[in-house]
Amino acid sequence: MTRAHVHLLVAIAILFTAAITHAERAAARGPSKSCYVDSDGDGLANCVEDHTGVFRSARSTGTDPHVADTDDDGISDGDEVNGTANGLNLPAMGVNPLHKDILLEYDWLNDFECGAAHSHRPTAAMLAVVRDAFASAPVENPDGQSGIRVYQDVAPGKDGMDSGSNLVVNGAAVANGYLEGGIGSADYVNAEALNFSANRHGYFHYVIFAHGYTAAPGSSGQASIGGHRMLITLGCGYSDVNPVAYTIVHELGHNLGLLHGGDEQCNRKPNYNSVMNYRFQFTGAMDCLQHPLGRPDYSDGTRRPLNENGLVETDGVCQLPTTRRGPPIDWNRNHVIDLNPVSHDVNFYPNSDCPGLTLLRDYDDWSHIQLSSVRRPMSAASEPCAPVPD
């Protein structure tokens, strides 16, 4: 055998050994760790999705390589880590693939109603109420923390970022602070087309703050059930922090799939402890004696059912940990806690779809909100919401 043959055999052996070593390393990493594979199609390679539940960087995201939206908030892991293909810089807005996020853009109208020129631009105090309502939500996340982060874009922007939010200028139709029609009207559609960037569709809820809208001049707002469109119309109450903030949470609830009775339109149920309920839209969550707790909230579904044909006043609406009964409530308002069941329509409302004496149920809003509904291109409009409070 010549020296050339020996060199050739040595070279072949080296290449064969290198190939085996590479194959062994690939096998040790396993197919889920390959940097050439994106099993869930979220735009992140499997090798950076280490499924630890801890986000360190774009190279160590903590996300699940086999689930495109690890935190189930309707935004893919890749978009939350790297931003969207059409230039929406979500990481700069503080979104996280391991913690649920909601994004809202706030645009507004100015007008001369109420005796003086004013703006319907929401204030920092209103934004804080909305932020805190979702931050304290009983919703778990892959990062081990509870709550939902809300990014509220209102000009001039946050931390030096360019804001998509602005004053709506849409011709004479909005000169007096009113939108013609409601969220399904040409006026709203035109305002959205002129003021809501195309790359925010499917990610942001679009909210217009106005004095009112002509389809229901006394309504506090309107929103699509599912989808992204919202109207906040508190009229001369434009500067009242809690009513405006609570209405934002109410209308956002419609976008998230909730109705005025949770999963039904049966309204004003005293055992449905939700800001979606007209009974509590402006007062917020209630304690077991129907006293306001001073916060907007969705229901957790723990209140007992109420049979209006046989209300047990000694039971109240809560089931306390130490007893099967909660504080009693005088449902028929006769100033006595009756020991025998009473019949009374405790949620009387002319436009309710549950008139007369019926069985009223609580509903677990927080477990059923649909964060991904913002991605629906079309959805039905809700009816006008509660009248503006005096």
- Domain for residue 271, yes or no? no
Residue 283 contacts by C-beta under 8 Å, 6 or more apart in sequence? 292
pLDDT at site 171? 54
HEC assignment per residue over 85-97: CCCCCCHHHCCEC
d(CA 228, CA 380): 11
Question: Which whole-number Å values give the CA distances from 51 to 33, 55, 68, in the listed order?
Answer: 11, 9, 12
Question: Treating both helix axes as pointing N-terminal to C-terminal, what angle do 241-255 and 124-135 enclose, rounded to 10 degrees?
Answer: 50
User: How does strand 204-209 pair with strand 221-223?
Assistant: unpaired
Same domain, 43 and 141: no
User: Which residue range(s) make up the domain with 239?
Assistant: 99-257
Q: What is the CATH classification number for the domain harbouring 111?
A: 3.40.390
For all residues of the chain together, what is the average pLDDT?
88
- Domain for residue 274, yes or no? no
Same domain, 217 and 76: no
- Domain for residue 389, yes or no? no
Same domain, 83 and 107: no
pLDDT at site 254? 96
Query: Which of 238, 257, 276 corresponds to the end of one domain?
Result: 257
Same domain, 138 and 55: no
Same domain, 110 and 221: yes
- Whether pTM > 0.85 for this model: the answer is yes
Same domain, 163 and 188: yes
- Domain for residue 174, yes or no? yes
- Domain for residue 364, yes or no? no
pLDDT at site 327? 92
Answer yes or no: are the C-beta atoms of 69 and 94 closer than 8 Å. Answer: no
pLDDT at site 155? 83
Answer yes or no: are the C-beta atoms of 95 and 151 closer than 8 Å. Answer: yes
pLDDT at site 379? 66
pLDDT at site 353? 80
pLDDT at site 222? 96
- Count of Cβ atoms closer than 10 Å to residue 140 Cβ: 12
Residue spans of the chain under pLDDT 50:
6-32, 160, 172-173
- Domain for residue 161, yes or no? yes
Question: Which whole-number Å values give the CA distances from 257 to 169, 245, 262, in the listed order?
Answer: 30, 19, 9
Q: What is the domain count for the chain?
A: 2
d(CA 59, CA 55): 9
Same domain, 105 and 53: no
Same domain, 110 and 77: no
Same domain, 56 and 196: no
d(CA 198, CA 202): 9
Same domain, 123 and 80: no
Same domain, 154 and 230: yes
Which residue's entry shows tokens 């999963």? 263
Query: Which of 257, 283, 317 corresponds to the end of one domain?
Result: 257
Same domain, 131 and 210: yes
- Domain for residue 296, yes or no? no
